[in-house]
A and B are shown apart, each in its own frame.
Chain A
């Protein structure tokens, strides 16, 4: 009896581990090539070549960088709080990976199809601030601490409007389950009726991932490198990987909420032959390109402008849009049907 039980457990555990590996392996490779794509694309936009020497088209550059980082010495600053200092990059990296558990790559292709998927994503993304603030505090350095404070304030501010944008989508979809949200977009992607909210959400994801033009936490000219100024070697690499994995995660969240997840743009012959996961990946790549495009073309915001945009423009705007969406759905009788049992 006990043998059967442990055997079943082992099989189930192995299956889950396999699923996790299938998601995380390609994700880490995607992160590696995202760093290369960033340098190449920004290079082309600025009429440079970018890294093109290591391997064909510079394809091996990320691996060379990774090897270099691994070979370096991990330096612990003398005044640092060692436990928290080492825990912060791990936390950032772990958080950027655990969120992938609920992302649906295709119909039924999801590790954990939980009822509150979108809340789970929102919760995990709101935890990202801890890695930053702990790193800044534990480094015992003024630059790092100032960077961490800026970052924490920025992330908390933009989460508010992100939450309201998500409410807009939920009103249209009538479910917190990510697969159900994608299915609700079969007739029309939410980007069309909720176009302003899509723009607000995209800009908020830029701020949430500390990307240009909102990369104040690591504003080189004032703070050297912000919260990870004291980090070196693999502890630095973990922050770096976490940041890029977060970019991909936020893009996939935008795809699920607004761009119809794994659904083709039109349900017609040549388009619906392409498998769903491929559509999903293509849409993520499109958004990531915009991330890089924005970085290459916009100057950095000033801190008070950033706060003004978040609190005085995005927050009221998305709040009014919630009222508008709810009102329209109620009047037109298009409210999603939710049975109360």
Chain B
């Protein structure tokens, strides 16, 4: 009973906030509503007993990815009116993509296309253990492959944006730590009544 109530609460808020992501005028609000949607998705995961996935969703998407989104959106100088201009042009495309997703969802729910219905597994073993057991044995190579793809994407992004600029001063910590007082400091005795420069000049003559 109470689970059904919570399901409709999470699902309702998630749908509403997803709509707000699209229709918000301010892109910062869009990102904030996106975060709300992620949260409610995590709540739905908890309801079907997938607590590991729920926490992962919050840690990865809300805690890291959405922070970067928010960063970018806040830093960019976005013209709000210009952003809204293409709305009607892209509407058909968006509707088509949405329609395909709904179709696939219906297929997964009522058809056998994805290997029939799967009920949430209720067992004594924590689903973290279960996921780990499958991920690192049966799908170990696919898992490694996914990691490699992410690595390549990261290196690609770095190599696209990294450029050598002339005249940049860099701090090399090891070099700084290797400096000894004897190499860089010179103690000059200054007789009273003379400037250090004069004393130095006198020293050079000697």
Q: Which residues of A contact B (CB under 8 A)?
A: 84, 114-116, 119-120, 122-123, 126-127, 129-130, 133-134, 137, 145, 149, 152, 156, 159, 176, 304, 308, 338-341
Contacts and interface: CB of A to CB of B under 8 A. Distances in A.
Main secondary structure of the interface of B (DSSP, over half): helix
B59 A122 contact: yes
Contact of B28 (A116, A137, A159, A340): A137
A116 B67 contact: no
A341 B171 contact: no
A156 B64 contact: yes
Contact of B67 (A120, A133, A339): A133
B151 to A, nearest CB: 14
A115 B124 CA distance: 11
B22 to A, nearest CB: 19
B130 interface: yes
Contacts of A115: 51-52, 126-128
A304 B128 CA distance: 37
A340 B125 contact: yes
Which 4 A-B pairs give the minimum distances between C-beta atoms?
Answer: A126-B63, A119-B55, A340-B133, A123-B58
B168 to A, nearest CB: 13
B70 interface: yes
Contacts, number: 73
Interface residues on chain B, size class: 20 to 34
A304 B171 contact: yes
A287 B32 CA distance: 35
A126 B51 contact: no
B118 interface: no
Nearest to A160: B64
B64 A126 contact: yes
Given A119-B56, A123-B55, A304-B171, A340 B130 contact: yes
A340 B59 CA distance: 25
A130 B70 CA distance: 9
Nearest to A156: B67
Contacts of A114: 51
A338 B136 CA distance: 14
